[in-house]
Homo-oligomer: A and B are copies of this chain.
Amino acid sequence: MTASQDEAALWWATAVSHIEPGSIELRDRPVQELIGTTGLVDVIWLLLRGDLPTPRQSALLEAALVAGVDHGPQAPSIAAARMAATCGVGLNNAVATGVNLLGDSHGGAGQQCVEMLDDIRARHDAGAHWPDAAREVTADWQSRSRYLPGFGHRFHPVDPRRDPLLDLVHEAVADGVVKGEFLQAALAVEELLRLRRAGARPVPMNIDGATAVIYAELGFPAPLARGLFVLSRSVGVLAHAWEETGQGRRNKGPIPRSIMPARLPASEDI
């Protein structure tokens, strides 16, 4: 091999997969040994981390992935993918359109929530009580943004995905599958918000918060909370884009023409 080839090879070096004629290895495991023996969730873990999860770890990850698959066509990711599907592009382009929208405020809250919980956990490790650690860290976040990532939902008074996810984390803690520090941190935030808003509408953990707890407990770094949500939500994006193709619309706009006034008001009128 020449020096040039060496450089080209290093430029694209990867530990994820090795491909040779007749051979495909995923994290050093021949693909034919995975097909039919290893589940999709285990393979997600394998590709991201290089090893396989235990069955209990895998089950916890699977629950989080299942919880986030869809939240209906009011979500901009889903709506955009459905509109794309009517514009004469492939299903892959429609799914990409939806995934592209899972940005800092749409799908990125999980990532921010892991960072926040990690801050709280670190302060607790350094000796602070959970309520104090939660108070300090949330004060810091709230000084920078009016949103506390992972808590509250503009639509659901209580997010129906919170309880079943946290129940699974509690069980996993009880059985020694995970340590439970991120769960403690998240519950401390929830309690803080409850006390602070006594009598007002509660701000319980939402899907981003509950899955952030799981991802963090399982040892995923914060950016992968967003990455894993992308995999999860892709399922719903695909299902909606596919359903839309069966409805026969063409260049579907956001609102039916029949009720969209021809002349929109100027934006200054808002």
Contact digits for A211-242, partner B, Cβ 8 Å, 1 yes 0 no: 00000000000011011001100111011111
> Once the chains are docked, how many angstroms separate the CA of A71 from the CA of B21?
12
Q: How many residues of A contact B (CB 8 A)?
A: 129
Q: Contact: B13 with A230, CB < 8 Å?
A: no
**Distance (Å) between the CB of A153 and the closest chain B CB?**
9
Q: Restricting to A216-270, which residues have a CB under 8 Å from any CB of B?
A: 223-224, 226-227, 230-231, 234-236, 238-243, 245-247, 250-270
Contact digits for A50-61, partner B, Cβ 8 Å, 1 yes 0 no: 000000000100
Partner among B11, B164, B246 whose Cβ is within 8 Å of the Cβ of A255: B11
Copies of this polypeptide in the complex: 4
**Distance (Å) between the CB of A178 and the closest chain B CB?**
15
Q: Does A62 contact B (CB under 8 A)?
A: yes
Known: A7-B259, A230-B91. A264 touches B160 (CB 8 A): no
Which residues on the B side are within 8 Å of A255 (C-beta)? Answer: 8, 11-12, 74, 254-255
**Distance (Å) between the CB of A18 and the closest chain B CB?**
5
Q: Contact: A250 with B14, CB < 8 Å?
A: no
Q: Which residue of B lies closest to A259 (CB)?
A: B4
Q: Contact: A242 with B227, CB < 8 Å?
A: yes
Q: Contact: B70 with A16, CB < 8 Å?
A: yes
Known: A8-B4, A155-B257, A254-B73. A105 touches B86 (CB 8 A): yes
Q: Which residue of B lies closest to A91 (CB)?
A: B227
Partner among B47, B227, B261 whose Cβ is within 8 Å of the Cβ of A69: B47
Which residues on the B side are within 8 Å of A38 (C-beta)? Answer: 66
One of A27-35, A125-133, A134-142 at the interface: A27-35
> Once the chains are docked, how many angstroms separate the CA of A84 from the CA of B90?
13
Q: Which residue of B lies closest to A238 (CB)?
A: B227
Which residues on the B side are within 8 Å of A105 (C-beta)? Answer: 86-88, 250-251
Known contacts A13-B266, A88-B104, A231-B235; 15 additional CB pairs below 8 A are A4-B259, A9-B265, A14-B264, A17-B236, A20-B262, A24-B70, A32-B160, A32-B164, A36-B168, A76-B253, A79-B254, A89-B101, A91-B230, A96-B100, A155-B257
